[in-house]
């Protein structure tokens, strides 16, 4: 009885339209959910070509490729596994495929050395219609049984913050990883406001808001309890709004 009373009260209180603040909050929530799904990485079926690994240019080279975005951090980590010097891999993502990757070797095993500037990285991404950049570097570990080298250094953190700010200003996302023993550890994620802008989600909510009570209830439910498929919620809410408008016209 208590549960039914709570459900009934929730329904009565949420037949009203969303306020501007609630619209904004729901739009931001849906954007975050969709971005979390887009930037989801998993190692299934991952392998690294040993011939390619041996042929990686120490002085730096931009390689053309087509690797799944979701698996690329793990591919990169395997390419860096066992390297005695620090290497850098910069992957360029377009439509959830990594289509280009820059690789270079550092001068020693103590610090990351980029032989390409952040501005050049941005120019390559823009020229090839890429929306995201993945940057990986390894931390050589001579005694893995004793030392954990999976955490970013202070220099790693400050450098990635600067790169993220600059790339984001160009509308490019940045995700950075430190790799140890064939495994990537993410430590920086900067998603540009221009990538899937929140205004688009707000527009979708506004379309369904303010017309039908059942549409309002669906939007409030999504706001409180979440939904990973915002398009389905908006489509159903808009449908009920259109049905209500049709009945009023008759």
- Count how many Cα atoms sit within 13 Å of the Cα of residue 137 in the half-sphere of its side chain: 27
pLDDT averaged over 10-residue windows placed end to end, the chain, 250 residues: 66 78 92 93 87 94 97 96 91 98 83 90 98 94 78 94 98 97 95 95 86 82 72 63 53
pLDDT at 47: 87
Which strand (E) or helix (H) includes residue 133? strand 132-138
Domains of the chain and CATH, by start:
20-36+196-249 (no CATH), 50-190 (3.40.140.10)
Q: What is the pLDDT of residue 250?
A: 44
Quote the pTM value. Answer: 0.84
209 in Cβ contact with 240 (< 8 Å):
no
CA atoms within 13 A on the CB side of 148: 4
**CA 151 → CA 154, 160, 163, 178, 187, distances in Å?**
10, 13, 18, 7, 8
- pLDDT computed for residue 61 by the predictor: 96
- The pLDDT value given to residue 223: 83
22, 14 Cβ separation under 8 angstroms: no
**What Cα–Cα distance (Å) separates residue 18 from each residue in 50, 54, 234?**
56, 58, 13
Q: What is the pLDDT of residue 73?
A: 97
The predicted pLDDT at position 213 comes to: 82
pLDDT at 90: 98
Instruction: Using the Cα atoms of residue 200, residue 198, residue 161 and residue 87 in order, give the sign of their dihedral.
Output: negative
């Amino acid at each position: 009885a208590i549960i039914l009373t709570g459900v009934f009260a929730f329904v009565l209180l949420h037949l009203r339209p969303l306020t501007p603040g609630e619209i904004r909050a729901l739009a931001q929530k849906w954007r975050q959910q969709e971005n979390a799904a887009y930037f989801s990485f998993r190692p299934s079926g991952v392998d690294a070509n040993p011939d390619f690994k041996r042929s990686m240019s120490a002085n730096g080279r931009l390689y053309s490729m087509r690797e799944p975005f979701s698996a690329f951090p793990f591919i990169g980590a395997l390419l860096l596994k066992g390297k005695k010097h620090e290497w850098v891999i910069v992957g360029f993502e377009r439509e959830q495929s990594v289509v280009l990757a820059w690789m270079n070797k550092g001068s020693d095993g103590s610090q990351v050395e980029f032989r390409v500037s952040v501005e050049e990285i941005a120019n390559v991404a823009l020229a090839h219609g890429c929306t995201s950049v993945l940057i990986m570097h390894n931390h050589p570990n001579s005694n893995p049984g004793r030392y954990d080298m999976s955490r970013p250094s202070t220099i790693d953190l400050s450098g990635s913050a600067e790169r993220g700010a600059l790339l984001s200003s160009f509308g490019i996302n940045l995700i950075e990883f430190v790799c140890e023993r064939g495994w990537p550890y993410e430590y920086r994620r900067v998603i540009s406001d221009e990538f899937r802008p929140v205004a688009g989600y707000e527009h979708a909510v506004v379309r369904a808001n303010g017309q039908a009570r059942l549409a309002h209830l669906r939007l409030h439910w999504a706001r409180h309890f979440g939904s990973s498929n915002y398009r389905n919620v908006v489509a159903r809410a808009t449908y009920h709004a259109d049905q209500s408008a049709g009945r009023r016209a008759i």
